Every structure is written in structure tokens, then in C-alpha cells.
Structure 1
Amino acid sequence: MSTHRPSVLFVCVHNAGRSQMAAGWLRHLAGNAVEVRSAGSLPGDRVNPAAVEAMAEVGIDISGQHPKVLTTDAVEASDVVITMGCGDACPVFPGKRYLDWALEDPAGKGVAAVRPIRDEIGSRIRGLLADLALDLGPRSKA
């Protein structure tokens, strides 16, 4: 009997802030129990430094991540696709679970303004894990 490891794709326009923070939270909280992807419809040049700093404050390192372009293959390979303001740029495939998280864009904001966005994303990731009904055992409460 094979066990399926769920796959989650986070999509925002630049793949530099919201989707990178969400991917960081999910990797941190789920470990290897979930396959994590992120991408952008118009990827930026680098991950937002304020997002990197805000995540580091809660012990999550996203400094090594790079914005990636959204591909049809990434959507097809994912069980859950979570969009964060990419609008119609995200392809839709039957049989996928789609969620749209309305989150403020951290672009151009300082770390103080990014913290509440980071915390909201962390809360939503915890809810997503509960929805996926994963038995992750005791893990960090960062």
C-alpha cells in the first residue's frame, strides 16, 4: 500500500513575498509530510528582504529561495493550489483543490508591516494542515 504525500503549490504574482513565506511556513511545520512548491505569474528578481527578515524572526530561513515562474507542470503536479493575488494567470485543472487567500502584498513594505502578513499566513498554514488531516506528531509551535 502506497501512501500519498500531498503536494501544495503557493502562487502569487512575483513569488517574492506571500508565496515564499507560505512555502517556508509549510516546510517548517510539516517537514517532509507535504511536498511544497511556490511560483509566480511574473516572478521577481529576488525574495523580498523584509519577508526574509520577518520569517527569520520566527526561526524560518527563506533566504536561499528564489522566485520561480509558474508552469502548467507545477499546477498539474499539485493536489492543492493556493493563489494569493495572481488573478486569471493561474491555470485551472479539474480534480485540483483551489484556495484563494486574500493577503496584503508585502512588496515595498518594511519588516514591521510584513510581520502581520507573516503571522496571518502562519495561521492559515496551520489551518491548511488541519484540513489536510496530517498526523505530524509533536512539532515546533514557532
Structure 2
Amino acid sequence: MSGVEVRVGSLDEVTQVVETIGEFARKETVESLSERLNDKHDALVLVAVEDRQLLGFKIGYRLDDTTYYSWLGGVSPLARGKGVAQKLLDYQEAWVADKGYRELKVKSRNQFPSMLRLLIRNHYQIEDFERVDPLQESRIHFTKLLIA
């Protein structure tokens, strides 16, 4: 995956990747994503591409002056285990730090162990646990300080 490029993308590109990811309970549309981002500031939409094929995406936005929220992301099943999520995370972290944010927050679910491992491997710390039934749907809240 050395030819993977991460760049600013569009919501249309995000929906194309979402269509390939079976784990999304709800298939997002440009309209549903736009509605969620409508009142958000500093929204960043990233896509990972190789040979013009969309492989993954990551969307985040400002929570407050010092905190950024990594809201939604995913990698196409065909590209999993090839470092795509790491490249998206690296790009987002660098962009967020460059903008002067000090903290990055993200939530994931018990049912996504590869995402949980990625976050822990990248020094994110668990700050909260939101229990939901069934347990696999429970949300784990992570935070990472970017500037000491």
C-alpha cells in the first residue's frame, strides 16, 4: 500500500466508500453527512486513494478551541490490514496539531477490535465506557493529548 495517497476528499467520495463497508448499520448519504456537519467548524473530510480507487475515509470536526473530534471513518474490506487506517489517522493527527488543537477525541465500539488496537497502538487512552446491550455495541471513548 505504499502507493496510498491521503487527501482532502468530498462527502460524495465518502458515501462511495461507505457502500463497500458492511459494518455500517446505516448507509450514509451526502445529505445525511452534510446535515451532521452543517453546524460544525473546521470539518475535515479525508479519503485514502490508490490508483484512483477509494479505499477509506475519515471525517472530523472541532468540538471547542482545544479539542477536535474524529467522528466517522472506515476502510473498504479489500484494503484492510494494509495500513490505510494508519495513514488516515496520521494525516488527521498532523492536520489537527497544525491547527493548534491540543486534544483529539474518538469513539469506537467493542465490535471493532482492529480500530481499538489501532487507537491503543497510537497512544490513545480510554476515558469513558458507554455500556449498551448487546455488549458489542458498547462505545469506548478515547482521547489523545497532541501537545504536552
| TM-score (normalised: structure 1) | 0.35
Give the structure with the higher percent strand.
2
Kindly indicate which of the two structures has a greater share of residues assigned to helix: 1
